[in-house]
A and B are shown apart, each in its own frame.
Chain A
Amino acid sequence: MSTMMFARNQWYVAAYAQEVGDELLARTVLGEPIVFYRTAAGEVVGLADRCVHRRFPLSMSRRDGDRIVCGYHGFTYDSGGTCVYVPAQTRIPRTARVPSYPIVEQDSLVWVWIGDDDRADPATIPRAPWLDAEGWTTIRGVEPLSARYGLLVDNLLDLSHETYLHGGYIGTPEVAETPITTEVDEDAGIVRVSRRMKDVECPPFYAKSTGIEGRIDRWQDIEYHPPCLYILHSRIAATGVEPGPDNDDSAACHAKIVYAITPQTPTTTLDFWMVARDFAVDDEDVSRYLADSNHTVVMQDVVALNALESVIAAEPEGYQELSINIDTGALAARRLLHKLTTS
């Protein structure tokens, strides 16, 4: 697997909305260092994190109201990136500005456009309304990966690995044993992978959080919106409990396992992970349990993917992978990503 190219002219999650406030937040997205902050009016700003003068990181500087004062020589930028002050002279050079990035705050996520500004269309950002909706509770975290983003995409599109890497948490034997259906919606650019399990063991992750005792019907319906957003629609119900004729599914428990996959460099990635649920929404013990369990699961993936990155870095060119039926969805995702990186 050669180092993956980036898909430019796309929206990426740079941060959770709650992470962006008065402090200056540094994030690297597709190799571009960006400083984020929130203005007094509540707008999220993203500016190139390098002073135009001598490249000092603006994220290591300080704010003066909605402006940033460079911590090295005092160059001062407004929230649009225009330099409004330079030290010891009245003339501000015409080129004294830093790029400002298109930003959209939506569904509790801060999206940044990496590409040509005139192509940035907020309407193309995939939605994840459960993260910020009444009747749902979300736990979340972010982990840095020392691995290329494609490895996380592979991981998430093939959930059969749950049985082996995440046994005792979310994995049970039936996950790896149940066939999948895969769809690629070529027009929308979406990969869907579905695994419907009937009368199966309930993993601890759901047994302890839903309170459902005994065997369950478990649905795993994946929607991947390349390059950044992954949603796993998880449905857990006592065996035999089906949605009603009017699609009333209130007898089941639902969780939306959401990942934002944001490349930092060719071999490092930010792994934003979220679990939104419509059950036990006010139960803080359940929130703590799910947060601890899911963090453990994410770290199991982090260790595995970091190891894979080291393996790939050390291998000779031309290694031939073997793909089997469980990889049908991941192969589809790879193809759509390839289209985005070469278009």
Chain B
Amino acid sequence: MRVGIHDHATVYRVVWAPGSDHLLGTCHCGAECDADDPIQVWQWLLAHPDHDGEATARPRPEQP
């Protein structure tokens, strides 16, 4: 997959980190979350813009 070239579209991305069981979800708004299962990560991503819930949210720092 041409990861990274869809950044300007409404793209949700879930990366399964090699060597771990964790999923890193990235919303098109830049917010990120760690999750332990795919249902959890999709629920969190699709809640945009209300990224609350059980997954651990790590909002991307504000860009200057």
Contacts and interface: CB of A to CB of B under 8 A. Distances in A.
B30 interface: no
Contact of B37 (A179, A185, A325): A325
Contact of A194 (B3, B10, B41): B3
B41 A328 contact: yes
Interface string A322-338: 01110110011001000
A185 B10 contact: yes
A193 interface: yes
A123 interface: no
A256 interface: no
Contacts of A328: 14, 16, 23, 38, 41-42
B38 A324 contact: yes
Interface residues of B, number: 22
State the main secondary structure of chain B at its contact with A: mixed
A221 interface: yes
A50 B59 CA distance: 58
Contacts of B38: 323-325, 327-328, 331
Given A182-B13, A182-B14, A328-B23, A193 B1 contact: yes
Given A185-B9, A185-B11, A192 B16 contact: no
State the main secondary structure of chain A at its contact with B: mixed
A188 interface: yes
Contacts of A184: 11-12
A187 interface: yes
Interface in A174-209: 179-188, 192-194
B16 A325 contact: yes
Contacts of B6: 183, 185
B42 A335 contact: yes
Given A184-B11, A324-B37, A325-B37, 15 more contacts: A181-B1, A181-B15, A182-B14, A182-B16, A183-B1, A183-B3, A188-B9, A192-B1, A221-B1, A323-B38, A323-B39, A327-B38, A328-B23, A328-B38, A331-B39
Interface of B: 1, 3, 6, 9-18, 21, 23, 28, 37-39, 41-42, 46
23 contacts: A181-B1, A181-B13, A181-B14, A181-B16, A182-B14, A183-B1, A183-B14, A185-B9, A186-B28, A187-B10, A188-B9, A192-B1, A194-B1, A221-B1, A323-B38, A324-B38, A325-B16, A325-B21, A328-B16, A328-B38, A332-B12, A332-B42, A335-B46
